[in-house]
Structure 1
Amino acid sequence: MIDRLIENIQKEINLTMEETEQLFDKIFKGEIDTDSLVDLLDALDKKGETPEELAGATTSMRKNAKLIDVNHDQIVDCCGTGGLGKKIINISTSVSFVLAAAGLKVAKHGNRTATGKSGSADFLEAAGINLKKSSDNFSNSLDKIGLGFLFAQNHHPGMKYVMDARKILGKKTIFNLLGPLSNPAGANIQSIGVFHNKWIKPVAEALRNLNCKAAAIFHSDDGLDEISFTSTTQMIELCQNKLTNHEIDPKDFNIKSKNISDLEIESPQESVNKVIDTFENKFLAGKEIISLNAAPALKISSVVDNFEDGYELAFELISSGKALEKFDEFINFRS
Structure 2
Amino acid sequence: MRNLSNVIQKLIDKNTFPQRDAAEVMEQILSGKCSDAELGAFLIAMRLKGEDSTELLGFVQVIRRQAVKGRAAAPNLIDTCGTGGCLQDTFNISTLAAFVAAAAGAKVAKQVYTDPGCGCSSRQVLASWGIDIGTAPPDRMLKLLAKTGLTFLYLPVFHPRLEQLVRVGQQIGILNLLNTLFPLINPLKPRGRVLGVFNEQMTTLLAGVLRTQGVRRAFVVHGVEGLDEISVSADTRISELRGGQIETYMFNPEKFGLAEKSVSGLQCSSAADSAQIGRIILSGREESERTDTVALNAGAALVAAGLVKDLAAGFQKAREVLRSGKAWKKLEQTAEIAQSLAKKQKKPLRLLKNKRKTRK
Counterpart of 1:290 in structure 2: which amino acid?
V
Where do 5+ consecutive residues of structure 2 fail to align? 342-360
SS at structure 2 position matched to 1:219:
strand
Q: Per-residue displacement from partner, 1:99-143 (whole Å, max 9, x unpaired)?
A: 111111110110344453212211101111122126332222212
Which of 130, 140, 153 in structure 1 is aligned with 2:156? Answer: 153
Q: Is the 8 A contact 1:134 1:149 kept in 2?
A: no
The runs of at least 4 consecutive aligned structure 1 residues that moved more than 6 Å come to none
Q: Per-residue displacement from partner, 1:182-219 (whole Å, max 9, x unpaired)?
A: 11222221111011112111111111222222221110
1:310 CA drift (Å): 0.8
Q: Per-residue displacement from partner, 1:147-194 (whole Å, max 9, x unpaired)?
A: 111111111112222245324533211111111111122222111101
Structure 2 residue aligned with 1:277: 280
Q: Is the 8 A contact 2:85 2:228 kept in 1?
A: no
Q: Which range moved further: 16-25 or 255-264?
A: 255-264
Q: Which range moved further: 158-167 or 73-82?
A: 158-167
Counterpart of 1:93 in structure 2: which amino acid?
T
Counterpart of 2:128 in structure 1: which amino acid?
A
Q: Is the 8 A contact 1:81 1:225 kept in 2?
A: yes
| Percent of paired sites with the same residue | 28
Structure 1 residue aligned with 2:140: 137
Where do 5+ consecutive residues of structure 1 fail to align? none
Matches within 5 A, 1:80-95: 80-84=82-86, 86-95=88-97
Q: Which range moved further: 103-112 or 134-143?
A: 134-143
Structure 2: distance between partners of 1:128 and 1:239 = 36
1:86 CA drift (Å): 4.0
TM-score (norm 1): 0.94
Structure 2 residue aligned with 1:2: 2
Q: Is the 8 A contact 1:54 1:203 kept in 2?
A: no
1:274 CA drift (Å): 1.4
1:309 CA drift (Å): 0.8
Structure 2: distance between partners of 1:168 and 1:108 = 25
TM-score (norm 2): 0.88
Q: Per-residue displacement from partner, 1:277-299 (whole Å, max 9, x unpaired)?
A: 11223222222110011122212
Matches within 5 A, 1:1-335: 1-3=1-3, 4-84=6-86, 86-131=88-133, 132-133=135-136, 135-163=138-166, 165-167=168-170, 169-256=172-259, 258-285=261-288, 286-333=290-337, 334-335=340-341
Q: Per-residue displacement from partner, 1:232-281 (whole Å, max 9, x unpaired)?
A: 10010112221111321100112257232222222222212211111223
Structure 1: distance between partners of 2:284 and 2:36 = 50
